Structure formats: structure tokens, C-alpha cells
């Protein structure tokens, strides 16, 4: 009997798409009981599909994506790549993720030859380092009866909140449209730069909408709010390693009309801005029986 793969090994396998034929790839699903496909998974897999059609000397610099339909976690996802443009400096790809014959996700990504130019970036916030912070499992342990096995499930990404997670903030009374977390892959990744970018893309969807809830005293999993990713945009500024600590500084400038907007800045451990993220999500109370009828 062999040991089960670690969560990180499972993530690496999840991002290793099957080549079907030119411009077509197939993504497997994790062996978990989920109601729908995690948004970070389909975004990460779609970026892998796009990246595998681009020369390795052109790293991705931006992606823009829409979540069109809930993904079915019981069947693989097919990714079709459209090679829109191969220019002298930039390469553009469009990827459509398909299940049951219908698109569930659409991504456009742009890749660029590395160039030298003017440089500046914002400063990383002054926050405690990750080593002295509790893991997500430790922070959520007081809620284990409420959350069931969710809180203790092994994860490929080590997440450590600088402040309070939404469920803790709901009780503590903290009301701020901001959330800061340290993250890193929980183990060592291979050196492939595309894999590191896709691992951060996977993780970027895990906590970004927290900032839309904390300010309102709401939390995931409590039954008083329904949420889902609607779109997702990322800009990659410099190379980084996803298996080294990075700070995810997240804020929400607006919520309304059943939606919430969140912005995130990802800094390397030495304080360099590596990635900028923007996402809009569905944020609304559960529908009543009368509203559904």
C-alpha cells in the first residue's frame, strides 16, 4: 500500500494538463467532495494551457477571465486554446474551458519578452512575519464543530492571516474592508516558472473576497451570505517563487447590487511588488423560497 500524495503533489498533478492534440488540453479534478469546481483551479489550469503554447522566453504578464458557469467537479475539463497573436514582443492567447459541451470559463492572457524599462513599485505594508502567525487550521480550530472537517483538511497552500479571517472577525467585531495573509506553497515546487505563476493564480482566488465580507460582519459558511467569483484579472510584474512566503494585501473599495469588488497586491518576502489582482464576486444573501419560485 502506497502513501497518498501530499496536497502540494496533488496540486502539481492538477496543473499538469493532459495534451489531447494541438491547442486542446484536458484537466483532471481533485479527489475531493465539492459542489462545484474551485475558481482558482480552473484559472490555474487555463493559464497552464495558454502557457504551453507560448515560447518559454515569454512569461505571462497579464490575464483577464470570466467565470461563466459553475464547473462540474465529477468530470474533467477540456481547455481549447486560440492562438490569437504571435507578435515580435507580445503573444496573446484565449482559452475556453468546456464541460458538457458548454463554456464554463473564458481567459485571455498576454505574454511578453522580458525587457528593460523604467521601474518603481509600491512599498509592502509593515506587518508581522509569517513564522509567528498561526496556520489557518489553528485559527479556525475553535469553530471546528461549526465547520466540520473543512478547517482541518490538508491544503497545498499554507495560509496565515495577519488579522482575523472573516469568521473570527464576525465574532471579534473587527470591521475593516481589508484582509492580509501570508501564503506559500506547502513544500518545494519544481523550478518551472510557469508552474509557480499558475500556483499563485490558483491561490489568488482563495481569500480575495474576504475583504468584501469583513467590513459587513459577514463570513463564509455561516448561511447568511452566498458568494462566487464572477471575473478575475492579474498582472505579473516580476518573477517569483510560489514556495517562498508572499504577502497578499487585499482590500475592497466597494460592495453593492449583489456584488463586491476586491483588489490585491502580492509582495515577495523582501518587499517587492510581484503581482496585482482585481476580482469581482457575487455577494448576496441566500435566496428565499419565494424568490426562487
Chain segment 11-20, per-residue pLDDT in tens: 999 999 999 9
Strand, coil or helix: 42: helix
Q: Which of 205, 210, 243, 249 is catalytic?
A: 205
Neighbour tally for 9: CB within 10 Å = 12
* Contacts (Cβ under 8 Å, ≥6 apart) of 2: none
What global pTM score does this model have?
0.93
The pLDDT score that the predictor gives to residue 292 is 38
Q: How far apart (Å, rounded) are the C-alpha atoms in residues 47 and 71?
A: 16
Q: What is the rounded average pLDDT of the residues 244-248?
A: 98
Comparing 31 with 77, which gets the higher pLDDT? Answer: 77
pLDDT over 90 percentage in the chain: 82
Q: Which of 99, 179, 265, 279 is catalytic?
A: 279
Question: In the predicted model, is pLDDT for residue 33 greater than 90?
Answer: no
110 as an active site residue: the answer is no
Question: In the predicted model, is pLDDT for residue 3 greater than 90?
Answer: no
205 as an active site residue: the answer is yes
Comparing 292 with 31, which gets the higher pLDDT? Answer: 31
- With cut-offs at 50, 70 and 90, classify the pLDDT of residue 288: low
Q: How far apart (Å, rounded) are the C-alpha atoms in residues 116 and 145?
A: 54
Minimum mean pLDDT range among 18-32, 147-161, 201-215? 147-161
Comparing 84 with 152, which gets the higher pLDDT? Answer: 84
Q: Which of 45, 110, 229, 250 is catalytic?
A: 229
Q: Where do the domains of the chain lie, and which CATH numbers do they carry? A: 1-115 (3.10.129.10), 134-293 (3.10.129.10)
Pick from 273, 274, 170, 184: which is nearest to 225 by CA?
Answer: 170
Q: How far apart (Å, rounded) are the C-alpha atoms in residues 54 and 109?
A: 11
229 as an active site residue: the answer is yes
The pLDDT score that the predictor gives to residue 1 is 38
Question: In the predicted model, is pLDDT for residue 2 greater than 70?
Answer: no
Q: What is the rounded average pLDDT of the residues 276-280?
A: 98
The pLDDT score that the predictor gives to residue 5 is 76
* Contacts (Cβ under 8 Å, ≥6 apart) of 120: none
Amino acid at each position: 500500500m502506497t502513501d497518498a500524495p501530499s496536497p502540494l503533489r496533488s496540486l502539481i498533478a492538477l496543473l499538469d494538463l493532459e495534451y489531447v492534440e494541438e491547442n486542446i488540453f484536458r484537466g483532471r479534478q481533485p479527489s475531493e467532495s465539492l459542489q462545484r469546481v474551485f475558481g482558482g483551479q480552473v484559472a490555474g489550469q487555463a493559464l497552464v494551457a495558454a502557457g504551453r503554447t507560448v515560447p518559454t522566453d515569454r512569461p505571462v504578464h497579464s490575464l483577464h477571465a470570466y467565470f461563466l458557469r459553475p464547473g462540474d467537479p465529477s468530470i474533467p475539463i477540456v481547455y481549447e486554446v486560440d492562438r490569437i497573436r504571435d507578435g515580435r514582443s507580445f503573444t496573446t492567447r484565449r482559452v475556453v474551458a468546456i464541460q458538457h459541451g458548454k463554456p464554463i470559463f473564458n481567459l485571455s492572457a498576454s505574454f511578453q519578452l522580458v525587457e528593460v524599462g523604467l521601474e518603481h513599485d509600491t512599498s509592502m505594508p509593515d506587518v508581522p512575519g509569517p513564522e509567528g502567525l498561526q496556520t489557518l487550521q489553528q485559527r479556525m480550530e475553535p469553530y471546528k464543530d461549526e465547520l466540520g472537517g473543512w478547517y482541518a483538511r490538508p491544503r497545498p497552500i499554507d495560509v496565515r492571516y495577519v488579522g482575523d479571517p472573516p469568521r473570527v472577525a464576525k465574532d471579534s467585531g473587527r470591521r475593516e474592508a481589508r484582509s492580509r495573509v501570508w501564503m506559500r506553497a506547502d513544500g518545494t515546487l519544481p523550478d518551472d516558472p510557469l508552474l509557480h505563476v499558475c500556483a499563485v493564480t490558483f491561490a489568488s482566488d482563495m481569500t480575495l473576497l474576504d475583504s468584501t465580507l469583513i467590513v459587513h460582519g459577514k463570513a463564509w459558511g455561516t448561511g447568511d451570505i452566498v458568494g462566487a467569483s464572477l471575473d478575475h484579472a492579474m498582472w505579473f510584474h516580476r518573477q517569483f517563487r510560489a514556495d517562498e512566503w508572499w504577502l497578499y494585501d487585499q482590500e475592497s473599495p466597494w460592495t453593492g447590487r449583489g456584488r463586491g469588488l476586491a483588489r490585491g497586491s502580492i509582495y515577495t518576502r523582501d518587499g517587492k511588488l510581484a503581482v496585482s489582482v482585481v476580482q469581482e464576486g457575487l455577494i448576496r444573501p441566500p435566496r428565499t423560497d419565494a424568490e426562487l419560485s
